[in-house]
Amino acid sequence: MKKRTRVLALAVSSFLTLSAFSGCASKEPVNTSQGGAASSAASAGAPSKINIWCWDKSDSRAQMHSKFTEETGITVELTAVQSKDMTQKLQTTLASDGDMPDIAWLEATFRGKLLSLNIWEDISKAPYNFDKANVLDYLIPLETSEDGQYVGPECPSVAGLAYKRELAKQYLGTDDPKELEKLIPDWDSVIRVGKDVMAKSQGKVFMFSSLGAVGNMLKGQSTDPFIDGDKLNLKTSMKPILERLIELKKSGMVDVLDFDSPEEGASYAGNEHIFYPCANWSVEFTIKSNDKDGKNRWGFMLPPGGPFPWGGTVMGVPQKAVNKEAAVEYIKYFFGSEKGASLQRDFKGNFSPFKPLYANADFYSAKDEYFAGQDVLQAISQDILPNIKGVRLPSKYDQDINDAYNLVIKTINASKDGNVSADDMISKMEDDLVNKQPAITK
């Protein structure tokens, strides 16, 4: 009896200890090839599985992946990681020598920092040989690290302007996109027209919902770097943006909502705001999800100041990934072939970076009932994409700059009638950044 008690005590305590440590166990690598082997698991005929860290685990993505699996034999497992948590999750996994994903999604705001880390494969090199010559030219700098390593492609994320047709007709006299483009070709005309809208609606209808929304457009429409190496360049690059935002704040035509807040989301279904910046992904993820009864309510046009890049998510293959070659197969399929581009278009409404597709004007074409039958896909592929003037190169300080920018946007928004100066805001940003990153100089 005593012996049995001792054995039981030992078993229970061992079980307790071992079960607590079980989370620390790491999986046995399935394929630890460093890239020297010529054939991928898929091409060798062996079933292969890749794990992707992403923030879209929707049914439509699963359906899209099942088509890919049918063709290649590579199964895709998705692990949900929020875009803002990706940096931390990757970093802690690396620090603890945990299991890295085969592909990680690197969102635009965090891309600069993440690309600067020497943890990614250059998939344009052997043995992967992803052909970056077929990638839309403007995207390549956004996908390349500061030391020249090509990390991976992304779907083009470009934006125009969405508007509520009823409000446009009532306050601007037309809901035709071409006429609206003529009415507000630039930001000066926005201010002029906006004042009329404010007067007509007695201040109840706003041109835009938030300063952050307008700020995103203005940032995207300029290409001057915010920082050159470690030296800040805000006076040249950020000051004109802030001056314009302060001018808009003073005019009162921009509502006081916080950008990307639940309240701004709810405003899509309301009747107080006319215009919203609209990237290709906004149609599904923002407009349709926030305005459930919005059929025929929306229109799409070229924005004042021209189209601009907005967002973008690079597909990075970590050096420590287990199934790197299968991961690159996935990337080649979805980002470097017409077949994959068709699936991305049909299941996700995404655009492909695969350059040859854009020679065919009808590849991206679909009448959209939310937009009163307007062909938004074609407008983006034929009017928006070719007119992107340039991009701001990623920097490892992007996240810090974005945070300092959010800080001054708050201040401008909180100010009474825009009673702040752009110079003060620039000083505030500079002080904030120098405090946070001692390597940065003004």
For residues 300 and 173, give the distance between their C-alpha atoms in angstroms, rounded to a whole number: 16
- Whose tokens are 């909502």? That residue is 257
Task: Kindly state the smallest distance separating residue 411's Cβ from another protein, in Å.
Answer: 7
CB of 236 to another protein, least distance (A): 23
- At 432, the amino acid letter reads D
Min CB(400)–another protein separation in Å? 8
Asked if 90 and 114 count as a contact pair (C-beta separation under 8 A), the reply is yes
Q: Of the two residues 122 and 329, which places its CB atom closer to another protein in the complex?
A: 122
Least distance in angstroms from the C-beta of 56 to another protein: 16
Nearer to another protein, 83 or 378 (CB): 83
**Long-range contact pairs involving 25-29 (C-beta distance under 8 Å, separation at least 24):** 26/97, 26/98, 26/99, 27/99, 27/322, 29/322
CA 238, 242, 243, 248 torsion-angle sign:
positive
CB of 413 to another protein, least distance (A): 6
Q: Is the peptide bond before 101 cis (omega within 30 degrees of 0)?
A: no
Closest contact distance (angstroms) between CB of 7 and another protein is 10
Q: Which is nearer to another protein, 191 or 257 (CB)?
A: 257
CA angle 431, 436, 440 (to 5 degrees): 70
Between 378 and 399, name the residue whose CB sits nearer to another protein.
399
Number of residues that this document lists for the chain: 442
The three-state secondary structure class of 378 is helix
- Is the Cβ of residue 287 or residue 377 nearer to another protein in the bound state? 287
The smaller minimum CB distance to another protein, of residues 196 and 431, is found at 431
C-beta closer to another protein: residue 109 or 222: 109
Distance in angstroms (rounded) separating the CA atoms of residues 75 and 97: 24
Residues that bind another protein (CB under 8 A): 5-6, 9-10, 12-13, 16-17, 20-21, 83-84, 87-88, 91-92, 94-95, 109, 113, 117-119, 212, 255-263, 266, 399-400, 402-404, 406-407, 409-411, 413-414, 432, 435-438
Q: How far is the CB of 242 from another protein (least distance, A)?
A: 15
Closest listed residue to residue 159, CA positions, set 382, 315, 385, 373: 385
